[in-house]
């Protein structure tokens, strides 16, 4: 099984652990296969070990335990400069004493490339990020977005097959960030490179990636394509971390035919899809997306269990209505409804009944 | 909006023109700032600017000849010192008149030693003549020409008079000429005789040794600064204390410690002899020469190199080195092409600091420098306290100050010294 994987995995983390101080593990048992050409994003809260993983891959940190393989070869003992991995740093790390062209020419020079070839490649790389006119400037004379592009061009100019990016857009404003997100993915797919991208911005992760690895506490909580991650979170951390989410706590009453009946702490019964629960009596945290909650009874199956809810707040957001409810002792239960001509606008204080399709409600770990 | 106000002045709320009211409010701020720095300003003025000014003045001031021998100076004006003939009787008469008064006021020794700086023998000539001349009467005993030559035949030498005339100007460049191994003569500025040319050599040696010391400090300080900048905070603090330790020890103690280390029967020689690397009768001469000065001063000035280097290196993020390596550079290339160029301002700052300090250093060369390891400042000290030729000391000091100011200017160009803003 492991052998099979390693054949088509371009990058492979094999039971990797990392500790800085010999007391706590910052990365605990990391297993990850990245096929060639994939755009993989590491997403997770601050301090979850994303940068550490990237640094181990780049060779600036050594794994305390385990193997990191690149193209089927263990790179544990290969120094960073021989790994041939392109890297974009969060602060860009453009060399301030060199011009843009010299910055780009640097990786080619250390590879002993001839002058004319170098110039041609530098020009091509700069044109690729639409920075052709700026070759003679110094990094300090560029705007943040322009520096970002140059950093990208520099990481790509020596044609690495693998490029690592650590929060490369963190310093940009929202609009520019969205534009660059598109440009980076576009470029990555055009060049067919493998990208490992680190961010703690979930929108960025969802829009850019082929797959997202959600990190928490030094472990990958779930690794899946963006849609699966959003719609089928495998544990309550992922459900909470990705997108907006409602949680209710309770105990499993019975499981049958792929359905779980959960008794909430308030006594109410609801139908769920069992994900991390296997037998009655287990505590669970059920997760339901705000846009999957229904309060039009006619759209629910007649035998569905319903919950009583009190409207606390109604927020008009233009394209959607966002309503805060009090449900089964949870005052922060959110529902979202589309702004359509026939849509009901709930009034604060109003008593309603809500329900959902059992498949949309996931019974996860407690 | 701007169109409307372009023609007339903007008016502040109280009806005063805006510019005036702004200037007034700034004025008050400036006054307050001035008051705050006033104690320092006065202190600096009294203890620094005045002494330096008076020193600079002393390097050109030369009124003693005119003040002591006023009539002689006037009379000498008509004499052509290049003719090779003695001045006429009028000059001798004027001189005797002046000299009698000078002897009464006991000023003849002072002018004697002043002229002795230029030609040795003048001092004794004046003292010897004084004993005879003070018994003469300026009216009855004339003419004086032959009498004076009888007292000492030097008075019959036109060169003696030439010296008096040459150095009778109120402001002289003579001290500066002396400071660069030249002299003021009747024929203009001329080189000193070979055997008296020592000051240029001393200047060159001072600069050369300061450069060597600066170079040594760079070589020894750079790695230390690098480690300091890259160590985790706690160990960096420890190391920093070690770097700063010398600052907390008296300079004299440190220099004396080097004496203990380096002298003939010192720690290093004893150890080498004990190890058998050096035989007992061929102990190394590592003190009282240039080696001693360079060693001790490198040690003493090292912190001044490390600190500016460290503060520059601290601002270089480690991500640059990582970026270079990820781009394929070996450790050495990454250091040399990426890190080193960015640390150059630190080297520049440290070097100029150390060089400026070294070039004017006095105590250490004095203690461990012997004869060939002393600096120009030791010569200045000699002229101030032993030979009492303050004019020459002042000229040497002024030249040294000029060198340092040029360096300071260079420092400002390279590193930039924050402007002091008044208000
Ligand atoms: N050089 C280091 N020495 C010691 N501990 C470190 C070091 N670098 C990181 N850590 C610790 O390792 C943990 C993971 O750090 P890491 O930088 O990988 O987090 P991250 O997921 O990149 O977070 P962020 O999103 O804030 O960048 C943190 O608890 C951090 O304090
Ligand atoms: Mg990070």
Beta bridge partners of A363: A274, A286
Q: Does residue B42 fall inside a structural domain? A: no
From A60, A96, A107, residue closest to B327, measured CB to CB: A107
Smallest Cα distance from A85 to chain B, Å:
6
Give the pLDDT band (50/70/90) at residue B137. confident
Q: Which ligand 1 atom sits nearest the alpha carbon of residue A218?
A: 14
In whole angstroms, what separates CA A6 from the centre of its chain? Answer: 23
Instruction: Evaluate whether residue B306 is within a structural domain.
Output: yes
Strand order of the β-sheet with A73-74 is A27-35, A9-18, A65-70, A73-74
**Which uninterrupted H or E stretch holds A84?**
none
Burial of B109 (0-12, 13-18, 19+ CB in 10 A): middle
Q: Which ligand is nearest to the CA of A49?
A: 1
User: What does the pLDDT average to over A57-70?
Assistant: 93
* pTM to 2 decimal places: 0.78
B-interface mutation test, from A21, A52, A95, most B Cβ less than 10 A away: A95
Task: Kindly give the distance from the C-alpha atom of residue A90 to the centroid of ligand 1, in angstroms, as a whole number.
Answer: 14
Q: Is A47 in the pocket of ligand 1 (CB under 6 A)?
A: yes
Q: Which residue has the tokens 């669970």?
A: A284
Query: From atom 25 of ligand 1, which residue's Cα is the shortest distance away?
Result: A46
Q: Find out whether the beta carbon of A26 lies less than 6 Å from any atom of ligand 1.
A: yes
Please report whether residue B174 resides in a domain.
Answer: yes
**What is the structure's pLDDT at A189?**
92
> What residues contact A242, with CB distance under 8 A and at least 6 apart?
A202, A206, A214, A229, A230, A233
- B423: pLDDT confidence band, cut at 50, 70 and 90? very low
A157 Cα to the center of ligand 1, angstroms: 29
Longest dimension (CA), chain B: 102
Residues 6+ apart with CB under 8 A from A214: A43, A44, A220, A221, A222, A223, A229, A237, A238, A241, A242
Tell me the residue ranges of DSSP E strands in B281-366: none
Residue B230 and residue B90 share a domain = no
CB count within 10 Å of CB B86 equals: 17
Same domain, B212 and B161: no
- The pLDDT mean for chain A works out to 90
Decide if B278 contacts B193 (C-beta within 8 A). no
**pLDDT surpasses 90 at A214:** yes
| Among protein residues, the one whose CA lies closest to atom 7 of ligand 1 | A20
- Dig out the tokens for A54 from the structure: 């990237």
Do residues B334 and B398 share a domain? yes
| Residue B5: per-residue pLDDT | 47
Q: What is the ipTM of this complex?
A: 0.82
Ligand 1 near A85 CB (within 6 A)? no
What average pLDDT score do residues B330-352 get? 91
Q: Which of A4, A33, A1 is nearest to A16 (CA)?
A: A33
Verify whether the Cβ–Cβ distance A110 to B341 is below 8 Å.
no
Both structure tokens of B158: 């036109």
Residue B365 confidence (pLDDT) above 70? yes
The pLDDT score that the predictor gives to residue B415 is 62
Please determine, for residue A5, whether its predicted confidence score (pLDDT) is greater than 50.
no
A160 and chain B in contact, CB less than 8 A: no
Whether B43 is covered by a domain: the verdict is no
Contact B95, B115 (CB under 8 A): no
Q: Measured between beta carbons, which residues in chain B are less than 8 angstroms from residue A89?
A: 319, 322-323
User: How far is CA B25 from each of CA A117, B18, B22, B419, rounded to the nearest angstrom?
Assistant: 63, 11, 5, 22
From B335, B395, B306, select the one nearest B60 (Cα to Cα): B395
The C-alpha atoms of residue A28 and residue A22 are separated, in whole angstroms, by: 13
> Which tokens sit at A44?
């997770």
Q: Is the pLDDT of residue A93 over 80?
A: yes
Name chain B contacts of A196, Cβ cutoff 8 Å.
Answer: none
Q: Are residues B104 and B220 in the same domain?
A: no
pLDDT band, residue B147 (cuts 50/70/90): confident
Q: Are residues B222 and B136 in the same domain?
A: no
Reported as a single tens digit per residue, the pLDDT across A94-117 is 999 999 999 999 999 999 999 999
Q: Is A125 helix (H, G, I), strand (E, B) or coil?
A: helix
Whole-Å CA distances, B11 to A196, A250, A262, B4, B19: 62, 73, 76, 13, 8
pLDDT band at B9 (very low <50, low <70, confident <90, very high): low
Q: Is the CB of A20 under 6 A from ligand 1?
A: yes
Cβ-proximal residues to B215 (8 Å cutoff; 6+ apart), any chain: none
Q: Residue B229 belongs to a domain with what CATH number?
A: 1.10.3720.10
- Strands A85-88, A162-166: pairing is parallel
Structural domain ending residue among the three candidates B163, B186, B209: B186
Please tell me whether residues B230 and B177 are part of one structural domain: no
Radius of gyration of chain B (CA): 31
% pLDDT > 70, chain A: 98
**Range among A137-146, B66-75, B120-129, B216-225 rated most confident:** B216-225
E strand segments, chain A: 9-18, 27-35, 39-43, 65-70, 73-74, 85-88, 162-166, 194-199, 211-216, 219-224, 246-256, 259-264, 269-274, 283-288, 307-316, 320-327, 330-338, 351-354, 362-364
Instruction: Compute φ and ψ for B333, nearest 5 degrees.
Output: -60, -40
- On chain A, the residues whose CB falls within 8 A of the CB of B320 are 93, 95
Q: Give tens-digit pLDDT for A239-285.
A: 999 989 999 999 999 898 888 999 999 888 898 999 988 889 999 99
Bridge-based pairing of strands A320-327 and A307-316 is: antiparallel
Asked if the C-beta of B202 comes within 8 angstroms of chain A's C-beta atoms, the answer is no
Q: How far apart are CA A146 and CA A129, in angstroms?
A: 9
B138 and B251 within one domain: no
DSSP A220-231: EEEEE-HHHHHH
On whether residue B372 sits in a domain, the answer given is: yes
pLDDT in tens, B285-304: 888 999 999 999 999 999 99
| Beta strand extents in A108-245 (DSSP E only) | 162-166, 194-199, 211-216, 219-224
Per-residue pLDDT, B416: 63
Q: Are the beta carbons of A58 and B333 separated by less than 8 Å?
A: no
Identify the sign of the CA torsion A217, A222, A227, A232. Answer: negative
Residues B299 and B333 in one domain: yes
**Which chain B residues are closer than 8 Å to A155 by Cβ?**
326-327
Q: Can you list the pairs that B363-367 forms with residues at least 24 positions away whose Cβ atoms lie under 8 Å?
A: B363/B251, B363/B252, B363/B255, B364/B251, B364/B255, B364/B258, B364/B293, B364/B296, B364/B297, B364/B300, B365/B293, B365/B297, B367/B252, B367/B255, B367/B256, B367/B259, B367/B296
Is the Cβ of A110 closer than 8 Å to some Cβ of chain B? yes
The stretch B147-176 carries a mean pLDDT of: 89
- Chain B hits for A103, CB-CB cut-off 8 Å, are none
**Ligand 2: centre distance to CA B329 (Å):** 23
Q: Are B255 and B296 spatial neighbours (Cβ–Cβ below 8 Å)?
A: yes
* Residue B335 domain flag: yes
- What is the domain count for chain B? 2
With a cut of 70, say whether residue B2 has pLDDT above it. Answer: no
Tokens in use for A13? Answer: 């983390």
B329: nearest CB among A81, A84, A91 = A81
B319 and A59 within 8 Å at the Cβ level: the answer is: no
Q: pLDDT at position B370, please?
A: 86
Pairing label, strands A194-199, A39-43: parallel
Q: Nearest CA to A34 among A2, A64, A12?
A: A12
Instruction: List the single residue in B with minimal CA-CA distance to A159.
Output: B327
Q: How much is the pLDDT for B212?
A: 96
In this model, does residue A221 exceed pLDDT 70? yes
pLDDT at B421: 25
Q: Do A80 and B333 count as a contact with CB atoms less than 8 A apart?
A: no
How far apart are the C-alpha atoms of A68 and A27, rounded to whole Å? 13
**Closest to A55 (Cα-Cα) out of A198, A265, A220, A199:** A198
A140-151 b/e (C-beta count within 10 Å ≥ 16 → b): eebeebbbbbbb
Domain that holds residue B226: 199-419
Beta carbon of A60 within 6 Å of any ligand 1 atom: no
CB contact B330 to A (< 8 Å): yes
- Last residue of a domain, which of B159, B186, B213? B186
Tell me, yes or no, whether B389 and B245 share the same domain. Answer: yes
Long-range contacts of A114-122 (CB under 8 A, 24+ apart): A121/A157, A122/A157
In degrees, to the nearest 5, what angle opens at C-alpha B206 toward C-alphas B202 and B211? 150
Does residue B54 form part of some domain? no
Confidence of residue B193 (pLDDT cuts 50, 70, 90): confident
- Residues B264 and B177 reside in one and the same domain: no
Domain shared by B243 and B265, yes or no = yes
B403 within a domain of the structure (yes/no): yes
Q: Are residues B204 and B353 in the same domain?
A: yes
In the reported structure, the alpha carbon of residue A197 is separated from the centroid of ligand 2 by a whole-number distance in angstroms of 11
> Alpha-carbon distance B16 to B85, whole Å?
79
Residue B231 scores a pLDDT above 80: yes
Contact (CB, 8 A) for A223 and A212: yes
Q: Which 3 state secondary structure label does DSSP give B205?
A: helix
**Per-residue confidence (pLDDT) for residue A4, from 0 to 100:** 46
Judge contact between B337 and B324, C-beta under 8 A. Answer: yes
CB distance B209 to B372 below 8 Å? no
The tokens 């020894």 sit on which residue?
B220
Percent of chain B past pLDDT 70, that is, above it, reads 95
pLDDT band, very low/low/confident/very high, at A3 (cuts 50, 70, 90) = very low
Domain termination site, one of B155, B186, B217? B186
pLDDT at B417: 53
Ligand approaching nearest to the C-alpha of A46 = 1
Distance to chain B for A35, nearest Cα, Å: 21
pLDDT band per the 50, 70, 90 thresholds, residue A80? very high
B325/chain A closest Cα distance in angstroms: 5
Between the CA of B45 and the centroid of ligand 2 the distance, in Å, is: 55
Q: Which residues in chain B are closer than 8 Å to A60, comparing Cβ atoms?
A: 322, 325
């Amino acid at each position: 099984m492991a052998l099979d994987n390693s054949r088509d995995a371009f990058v492979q983390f094999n039971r990797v652990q990392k500790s800085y101080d010999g007391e706590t593990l910052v990365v605990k048992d990391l297993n990850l296969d990245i096929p060639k050409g994939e755009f993989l994003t590491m997403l997770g809260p601050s301090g979850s070990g994303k940068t550490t993983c990237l640094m181990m891959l780049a060779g600036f940190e050594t794994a305390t335990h385990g193997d990191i393989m690149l193209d089927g070869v263990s790179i544990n003992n290969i120094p960073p400069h021989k790994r041939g991995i392109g890297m974009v740093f969060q602060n860009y790390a453009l060399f301030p004493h060199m011009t843009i062209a010299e910055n780009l020419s640097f990786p080619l020079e250390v590879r002993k490339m001839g002058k004319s070839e170098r110039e041609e490649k530098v020009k091509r790389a700069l044109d690729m990020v639409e920075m052709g006119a700026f070759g003679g400037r110094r990094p300090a004379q560029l705007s943040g977005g322009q520096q970002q592009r140059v950093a990208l061009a520099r990481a790509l100019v020596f044609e690495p097959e693998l490029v690592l990016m650590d929060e490369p857009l963190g310093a940009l404003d929202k609009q520019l960030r969205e534009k660059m997100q598109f440009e980076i993915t576009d470029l990555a797919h055009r060049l067919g490179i493998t990208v490992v991208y680190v961010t703690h911005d979930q929108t960025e992760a969802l829009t850019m990636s082929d797959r997202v690895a959600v990190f928490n506490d030094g472990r990958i909580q779930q690794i899946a394509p963006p849609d699966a991650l959003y719609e089928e979170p495998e544990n309550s951390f992922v459900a909470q971390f990705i997108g907006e989410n409602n949680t209710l706590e309770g105990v499993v009453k019975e499981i049958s035919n792929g359905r779980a009946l959960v008794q909430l702490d308030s006594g109410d019964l609801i139908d769920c899809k069992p994900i991390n629960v296997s037998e009655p009596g287990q505590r669970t945290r059920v997760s339901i997306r705000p846009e999957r909650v229904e309060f039009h009874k006619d759209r629910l199956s007649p035998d569905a269990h319903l919950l009583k809810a009190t409207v606390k707040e109604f927020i008009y957001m233009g394209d959607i209505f966002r309503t805060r409810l009090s449900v089964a002792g949870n005052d922060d239960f959110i529902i979202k409804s589309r702004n359509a001509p026939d849509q009901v606008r709930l009034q604060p204080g109003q008593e309603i009944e809500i329900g959902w399709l059992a498949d949309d409600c996931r019974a996860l770990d407690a | 909006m701007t169109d409307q106000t372009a023609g007339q002045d903007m008016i502040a709320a109280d009806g005063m023109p805006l510019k005036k009211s702004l200037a007034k409010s700034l004025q008050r701020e400036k006054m307050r700032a001035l008051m705050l720095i006033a104690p320092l300003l006065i202190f600096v003025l009294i203890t620094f600017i005045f002494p330096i000014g008076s020193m600079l003045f002393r390097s050109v001031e030369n009124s003693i000849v005119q003040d002591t021998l006023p009539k002689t100076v006037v009379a000498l004006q008509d004499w052509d010192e290049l003719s090779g003939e003695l001045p006429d009787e009028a000059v001798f008469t004027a001189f005797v008149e002046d000299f009698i008064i000078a002897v009464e006021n006991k000023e003849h020794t002072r002018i004697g030693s002043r002229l002795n700086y230029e030609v040795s023998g003048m001092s004794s000539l004046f003292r010897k003549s004084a004993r005879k001349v003070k018994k003469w009467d300026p009216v009855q005993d004339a003419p004086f020409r032959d009498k004076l030559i009888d007292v000492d035949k030097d008075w019959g030498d036109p060169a003696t008079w030439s010296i008096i005339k040459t150095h009778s100007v109120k402001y002289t460049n003579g001290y500066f000429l002396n400071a660069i191994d030249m002299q003021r003569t009747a024929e203009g500025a001329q080189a000193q005789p070979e055997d008296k040319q020592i000051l240029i050599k001393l200047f060159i040696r001072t600069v050369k040794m300061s450069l060597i010391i600066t170079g040594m400090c760079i070589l020894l300080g750079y790695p230390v600064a690098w480690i300091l900048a890259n160590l985790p905070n706690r160990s960096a603090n420890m190391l920093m204390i070690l770097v700063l330790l010398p600052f907390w020890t008296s300079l004299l103690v440190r220099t004396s410690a080097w004496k203990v280390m380096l002298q003939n029967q010192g720690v290093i020689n004893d150890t080498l002899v004990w190890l058998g690397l050096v035989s007992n009768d061929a102990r190394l001469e590592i003190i009282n020469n240039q080696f001693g000065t360079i060693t001790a001063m490198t040690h003493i000035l090292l912190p001044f190199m490390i600190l500016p280097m460290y503060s520059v290196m601290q601002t270089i993020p480690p991500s640059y080195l990582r970026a270079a390596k990820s781009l394929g550079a070996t450790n050495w290339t990454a250091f040399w092409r990426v890190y080193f160029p960015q640390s150059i301002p630190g080297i520049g700052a440290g070097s100029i600091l150390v060089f400026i300090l070294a070039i004017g250093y006095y105590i250490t060369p004095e203690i461990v420098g012997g004869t060939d390891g002393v600096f120009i400042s030791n010569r200045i000290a000699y002229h101030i306290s032993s030979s009492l030729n303050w004019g020459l000391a002042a000229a040497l000091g002024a030249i040294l100050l000029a060198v340092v100011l040029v360096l300071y200017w260079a420092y400002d160009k390279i590193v930039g010294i924050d402007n002091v803003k008044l208000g």
